[in-house]
Structure 1
Amino acid sequence: MQDEHNLEEKVLSQGAEMMLSQGLDEVEKIDINVQTDLFKILQGQADGVSFAGEGLVIQEDIRVQEIKLQTDNIDINPLTALFGQIELNQPVNATVRVVLTESDINRALASDLVRSKPQKFDLKVDEEIVSFEAKQIQVFLPGEGKMAFQGTVLLHEVGNTRQLSFTAIIRPRTHSQPIILESFSCNEGEGISLEIVVALMQKVKELVNLPYLQYEDTVFSVKKLEVEKDRMILLVQTKLKQIPSL
């Protein structure tokens, strides 16, 4: 009986791997394990799905060095599951561990997918609205838990728009300390006022402290972020409406 159970999982998992791989531009390694058996499949149930991948490239410019995902118990479409396509009947909780290299992050920031999203946000400074419009941002991961940013933005103030180039170094929030701005300097332009810097940091604090974030139909929360030399590790909890088909 155990052998039959393993065979069912293997056949279903291999079918899911094949379908997922077809949606990737590149992949170095991929492994999917659908934890179920034939009886549970016919009932539209599975104990969970685990997914691990390395060197995944999506839409040419979005690359992930490593990803590991594990879902809770799930309700699935039994007809599609038999053909290796996992369709959820109900949203499911999942834990995801993602590793991004410095190169992965900068490749994504320069991608058409990211650049097509709004690059402008507003700050309230002394009862007036000041807007930042990102033109170019580059991230460096030098180690020691630090993130460095170099970039160029357009600063839209009342009756005036000017270009500003900057360098900033931060330490992301941990369980024992809040997010820390270690340094900020203007490389080009007239600089910015202390009031704008304070408002900017307050905005960052608000975003970091949000209970959850949403991208399209997926709600997620970053539970842990570790920064090492040349790579970033994120532990994310999310509620999936569908297992990603990429």
Structure 2
Amino acid sequence: MKQTDELEVKVRAEPVAKLLQGSVDGFDFVGKGMKMHSGLQVEVMEMYVQAVSIDFGAIFKGQVKIKQPTQASMRIMLTEEDLTVSFNTPFLVEKLQKLEYQGNPLYFDKTEITLNDDQSLRMQSHVRPGEAGDPIDVDITARLEVEDRRKIQFMDPDYGGDEQAVELGKVLTNHVNSLLDLDQFALDGMQLRVDRLRLKDKKMTMYGNANIEQFPSR
């Protein structure tokens, strides 16, 4: 993780003497305005951990270090802006460029993500097949579903534009569905699994569990 606007950890221990032994009843981890080294960004990440052994000395340095892997319930929220910024990062653009269309790599520009009131997601982008190709305005609207607790999928897509834009949109949907695997985007030391996904008020919220080997630090 590159930076956060706010990072808060609340440790629960009763009696407090447990801390001296590195044992806690649980702790809450809340990060806001999180930006990853890849350029991806997250509005809110909350994790609630039950009893676990920690490195007591690290707390005084503002860090949380656990002595063995643990599991936490989690909530992750991304705004429209987070999603739009993330789809325009070199990290994702380079992954999208690995898709070829009519023998040419695809170059994406000004990708915009919109979260609709009917709980669908709209993806619009200017896509050039090859460096010298004319841009094609791709417009995809789809429902989002979670597959195998880790893959976010575009379902029942609708396509805007002319025949070429629709054809390219179909190819792109399949490619995006192969990319949106949470294991590719998780923070170091964490494995994320989603049980429920909700789109509301221009925000995408995922609820599930995190298998944690280490906690991210500022």
Same fold (TM over 0.5): yes
Taking the aligned partners of 1:186 and 1:153, their CA distance within structure 2 comes to 13
Residue in 2 that maps onto 1:135 = 109
% identity of equivalent residues: 19
Match of 2:186 among 206, 215, 229: 215
Partners of 1:213 and 1:220 within 8 A in 2: no
> How many corresponding residue pairs?
205
CA change 1:244–1:212 in 2 (3 A) is closer
Matches within 5 A, 1:119-130: 119-120=93-94, 121=96, 122-123=98-99
Residue in 1 that maps onto 2:52 = 74
Aligned to 1:143, what secondary structure does the other structure show? coil
Residue in 2 that maps onto 1:245 = 217
Taking the aligned partners of 1:59 and 1:197, their CA distance within structure 2 comes to 29
Pair member with larger Rg: 1
Taking the aligned partners of 1:59 and 1:201, their CA distance within structure 2 comes to 26
Where does structure 1 lack aligned partners over 5 or more consecutive residues?
A: 1-22
Aligned-residue offset at 1:87: 1.5
Aligned-residue offset at 1:67: 3.5
Where does structure 2 lack aligned partners over 5 or more consecutive residues?
A: 148-152
CA change 1:139–1:179 in 2 (3 A) is closer
Partners of 1:41 and 1:81 within 8 A in 2: no
Aligned-residue offset at 1:226: 1.0
CA change 1:162–1:45 in 2 (3 A) is farther
Query: Please, what TM-score do these two structures have when normalized by structure 2?
Result: 0.71
Deviations 1:121-170 (A, max 9, x none): 43478xx866433222111112111111111223249xx85532211111
Residue in 2 that maps onto 1:33 = 10
CA change 1:185–1:76 in 2 (3 A) is same
Query: Please, what TM-score do these two structures have when normalized by structure 1?
Result: 0.65
Match of 1:183 among 147, 153, 158: 158
